[in-house]
């Protein structure tokens, strides 16, 4: 199977985010042919169409990182039963102005963790709606709503529960297969 350059976006701006820990685990468990790199967004100002004529460099760089990736993995928490504001702001920067959407035809997957029993199910559903509008093909199965318990994933991305580790490994393999199928139909930009 072909190698892919996969950008991952962590929906939380917190340095000690449990979703950052989950992202580290996913990077470790990803198939070798997935070259993973984080696409950060902490320096983005609040989006306004007033910027459309002259994007700041930080926004241009963010958007270019998405466009330069073969696929995007979003690892997100759930804030107030929805998408974190910083993540939504970043998505707005990457998809504007009209006609320059960096997510168009970009294979995507969404996963997240929370201490709550339903993980990040509601946030993920909100995010899927946004990604649908942006014409980003989405891996719809397997879904992954991870309940984070103390010690589940350490700071280095090691997963303590073998069944969760295998599930995450299988999730990343499914994402690899999904992007291969999508990019067969919608080839990467030359």
pLDDT confidence tier of residue 29, bands split at 50, 70 and 90: very high
pLDDT at res. 106: 97
Domain boundaries in the chain? 4-185
Q: What is the CATH topology of the domain spanning 4-185?
A: Rossmann fold (3.40.50)
Is residue 129 pLDDT above 90, yes or no? Answer: yes
As a residue count, the chain comes to 190
Q: What angle do CA 141, 78, 121 make, to 5 degrees?
A: 30
Q: Are 60 and 53 in contact (CB under 8 A)?
A: no
Picking from 116, 115, 143, the residue whose alpha carbon sits closest to that of residue 127 is 143
Percent of the chain with pLDDT over 90: 93
Q: Reduce the DSSP state of residue 30 to 3 states and report it.
A: coil
pLDDT at res. 190: 43
Is residue 103 pLDDT above 80, yes or no? Answer: yes
pLDDT confidence tier of residue 2, bands split at 50, 70 and 90: confident
pLDDT confidence tier of residue 183, bands split at 50, 70 and 90: very high
Q: What is the pTM of this model?
A: 0.95
Is residue 91 pLDDT above 90, yes or no? Answer: yes
Exposure on the CB side of residue 14, measured as CA atoms within 13 A: 13
Is residue 187 pLDDT above 80, yes or no? Answer: no
**Continuous segment of H or E residues that includes residue 18:** helix 18-29
């Amino acid at each position: 199977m072909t190698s892919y350059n996969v950008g991952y976006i962590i929906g939380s701006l917190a340095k000690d985010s449990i979703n950052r820990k989950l992202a580290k685990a996913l990077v470790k468990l990803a198939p070798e042919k997935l070259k993973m790199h984080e696409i950060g967004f902490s320096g983005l100002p609040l989006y306004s169409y007033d910027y459309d004529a002259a994007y700041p460099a930080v926004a241009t760089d963010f958007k270019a990182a998405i466009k330069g990736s073969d696929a995007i993995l979003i690892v997100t928490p759930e804030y107030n039963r929805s998408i974190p504001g910083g993540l939504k702001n970043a998505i707005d920067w990457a998809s504007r102005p009209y006609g320059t959407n960096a997510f168009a035809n970009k294979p995507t997957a969404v996963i997240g963790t929370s201490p709550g029993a339903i993980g990040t199910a509601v946030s993920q559903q909100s995010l899927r709606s946004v990604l649908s509008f942006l014409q980003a093909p989405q891996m719809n199965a397997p879904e992954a709503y991870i309940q984070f318990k103390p010690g589940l994933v350490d700071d280095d991305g090691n997963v303590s529960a073998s069944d969760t580790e295998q599930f995450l490994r299988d999730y990343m393999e499914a994402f690899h297969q999904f992007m291969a199928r999508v990019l067969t139909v919608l080839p990467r930009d030359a």
